[in-house]
Amino acid sequence: MLDEWPFNLNFGTTYYLEKEEALVNGRRGLTLVVGPQHPGSGHMRLFVVVDGDVIVDVVPDPGFVHRGIEKLGENRPYWMLVPLVEKASIMDSANIIYPTVLALEKGLALEPPPRAQYLRLIMAELTRIRTHLYDLSLLGIFLGHSTAFMWGFALQDLFAEVFAKITGARTTTAYLVPGGVRRDFKPEHVEAVERLLRKVEEKLKDFKTLFLDNPVTRARLENVGVLDAKRVTELGVVGPFARASGVDFDVRKAYPYDAYREFGVEPVVEKGGDAWARTVVRWGEIQVSIALVRKALRELPGGDVIDNALLFKNPEYRREGISGVLGVYTYLYPEPGEWMGMAEATRGLSMTHLWTTGLQRVYRMRVVTPSWRNLLGDGGGYEGPAACGYAGGLHVVWILPARSGPMTRVRLLDLDRGGVVELEVDGGAHPNAIIEKLREMGLVSSRETVIYGVSQDGRRIWYVPAATVDQLVAYSNQTKQPLSFRRFPIHGLGEAPR
């Protein structure tokens, strides 16, 4: 039965055979599995190739955590993308949703008023501080420093309490919406943020003395996972990971958006390129974010928190309290076209690319997050005990890379033209990736869509409830029914973008 299974289960003797034979000193290495594989949400597993005590290579296996966020976004009204996309990185929700909101505003021709832009900056930077504290806490527990873990978690929980006062939610706030923000800041909210910053700054001094100034912490992180600027550029590594290697790139500085155009952000840059340098960059970014929030609070302009264009396109009776009701977008339709938003999330560059056809549902959504690119930076070369320090210094959201997987070969019966089509697609992608691949191959036009599944009689297609391409192929192999597809015209969309 294993011979028919579509996944490569024997990693130690097949996938890694050439790598193992080419290890240091020509000796054959050992492949260890770090982390379990399971179908639920949780951490991915890593295949670690070791030569004695030295980790030679680390290969991530994303597994089955794929949630199909991109496909879900294509089947919901565009205003529902806000609470959907922020689930990709719940701790960094304000920053991870920022590019999606910017892209939607381009398609809707909305411009957030100055006050809304400042409030966005405040919420984004508070979220950035909280996420850095969360990451530093995890670094502490990875290194066996449980006190740093508990102190850091206690500090980040203070932010959750303030978020709850402002937005009504502790983590996934859905605060940023196309055209502005969902709620205005009241005087008590401004006071709560100022009190939060004072308390956090006071506690951070003790945290630094306890954890970062600890010589054991530095010894565990220095010269671990070293990556130079050239390699960072080749791999496309972003965020604090890249800036710790001397690459001075931050979207807030290179391509400023909203209120960042007026603030002139200067990112923290280090030269070491190791786990310690990445930790120092994150610590410095906390200080930069605190300064940005304080400046925004001092210069916070008055006025509306939602674009007037959004207000006046709605009936007069719905304009009161407009910023608290997502349903106001039911009167707005995005223009047909392609729209892209780009922002600096806590862990690096984040982008959203939207294709719209004039309807209230996007035709295609592509979300690009920093964690997968940063995970590619692990090339090994350090001793086993240092792996915890490296992983903690990496600070990736392990769920985000789980949207991608190894390439899978798929055989499909063409029920319209006959014959068999063979193609390779990302095994961890949603099965609709098959449609895109067929379009790339010229087998399906831009005015056609595809229905795919299994066929028993070569005529009818039965739907397969699969979340990934790999699951679709596995179902076909298990039932001995061939995968098939059939073309159907797209009605009412005009010329669908390719």
Residue 353: inside a domain, yes or no? Answer: yes
Structure-model confidence comparison of residues 16 and 416, the more confident one: 416
360 pLDDT above the threshold of 70: yes
Same domain, 145 and 271: yes
Domain boundary pick from 349, 368, 387:
368
Do 340 and 442 belong together in one domain?
A: no
Do residues 213 and 275 share a domain?
A: yes
CA–CA separation, 368 and 351 (whole Å): 5
Are 434 and 352 members of one domain?
A: no
Record the pTM: 0.73
Among 321, 340, 368, identify where a domain stops: 368
Query: Which range in 11-15, 135-139, 426-430, 494-498 is most confidently predicted, on average pLDDT?
Result: 135-139
What's the pLDDT score for residue 433?
A: 79
150 occurs within a structural domain? yes
Q: Is 271 found in the same domain as 127?
A: yes
Q: Which tens digit of pLDDT belongs to each residue from 84-143? A: 888 888 888 899 999 999 999 999 989 999 999 999 999 999 999 999 999 899 888 888
Question: What is the pLDDT confidence band of residue 26, given thresholds at 50, 70 and 90?
Answer: low
Share of the chain above pLDDT 70, in %: 77
pLDDT classification of 397: cutoffs 50, 70, 90: low
Residue 2 is assigned to a structural domain of this protein: no
Same domain, 306 and 425: no
Range of the domain at 343: 69-368
Top mean-pLDDT range of 15-19, 41-45, 295-299, 330-334 = 295-299
Q: Tell which of 316, 344, 368 closes a domain.
A: 368
Mean pLDDT of 50-78: 72
CA distances from 431 to 170, 200, 390, 416, 434 (A): 34, 46, 34, 20, 6
Q: Is residue 315 part of a domain?
A: yes
Looking at the chain, the whole-number percentage of residues with pLDDT higher than 90 is 29
Domain contains 267: yes
> Which pLDDT value is given to residue 222?
87
The answer to whether position 44 is within a domain reads no
Domain count, the chain: 2
Give pLDDT, residue 449. Answer: 76
For residue 235, pLDDT beyond 90: no
Listed range (111-120, 339-348, 434-443) with the worst mean pLDDT: 434-443
Residues 192 and 307 in one domain: yes
**Given this model, what pLDDT does residue 446 score?**
74
Q: Within this chain, do residues 417 and 335 fall inside the same structural domain, yes or no?
A: no
User: Which strands sit side by side in the sheet containing 30-34, from one edge to the other?
Assistant: 30-34, 45-51, 54-61, 382-383
Position 275 confidence tier, pLDDT thresholds 50, 70, 90: confident
Tokens of 399: 């769920």
Question: How would residue 497 be classed by pLDDT, with cut points 50, 70 and 90?
Answer: very low
For 192, list phi and psi in degrees, rounded to 5: -65, -40
Residues 183 and 294 in one domain: yes
Q: What is the pLDDT of residues 398-429, one digit of tens each?
A: 555 555 455 778 888 888 888 899 988 877 66
Structure token pair of residue 449: 């869509």
Nearest residue to 239 (alpha-carbon basis) of 229, 251, 230, 228: 251
Give Cβ neighbours of residue 372 (< 8 Å, ≥ 6 apart): 396, 400, 401, 403, 404
The 3-state secondary structure of the chain, one letter per residue: CHHHCCCCCCHHHHHCHHHHHCCHHHCCCEEEEECCCCCCCCCCEEEEEEECCEEEEEEEECCCCCCCHHHHHCCCCHHHHHHHHHHHHHHHHHHHHHHHHHHHHHHHCCCCCHHHHHHHHHHHHHHHHHHHHHHHHHHHHHCCCHHHHHHHHHHHHHHHHHHHHHHCCCCCCCCEECCEECCCCCHHHHHHHHHHHHHHHHHHHHHHHHHHCCHHHHHHHCCCCCCCHHHHHHHCCCHHHHHCCCCCCCHHHHCCCCCHHHHCCCCCCCCCCCHHHHHHHHHHHHHHHHHHHHHHHHCCCCCCCECHHHHHCCCHHHCCCHHHCHHHHHHCCCCCEEEEEEEEECCEEEEEEEEECCCCCCCEEEEECHHHHHHCCCCCCEECCHHHHHHHHHCCCCCHHHHCCCEEEEEEEECCCCCEEEEEEECCCCCCHHHHHHHHCCCCCCCEEEEEEECCCCCCCECCCCCCHHHHHHHHHHHCCCEEEEEEECCCCCCCCC
pLDDT for the residue numbered 244? 92
Q: Residue 458 domain-assigned?
A: yes
**How confident is the prediction for the chain on average, in pLDDT?**
79
- How far apart CA 35 and CA 62 sit, in angstroms, is 11
pLDDT at residue number 43 = 59
User: Environment class of residue 184 by beta-carbon count within 10 Å: exposed (0-12), middle (13-18) or buried (19+)?
Assistant: middle
Report whether pLDDT(236) > 60. yes
Average pLDDT over residues 283-307: 92
Instruction: Tell whether 416 and 326 lie within a shared domain.
Output: no
Tell me the backbone φ, ψ of residue 339, rounded to 5 degrees. -135, 135
204 and 155 both lie in a single domain: yes
The mean per-residue pLDDT over the stretch 325-344 comes to 81
CATH number at residue 228: 1.10.645.10
Inter-residue contact 395 to 115 (CB < 8 Å)? no
Rounded Cα distance between 107 and 178, Å, is 10
On whether both 151 and 232 belong to a single domain, the answer is yes
Residue 38 predicted with pLDDT over 60: no
Considering only CA atoms, give the Rg of the chain. 25
Per-residue confidence at 319, pLDDT binned at 50, 70, 90?
low
Residue 237: the pLDDT is 86
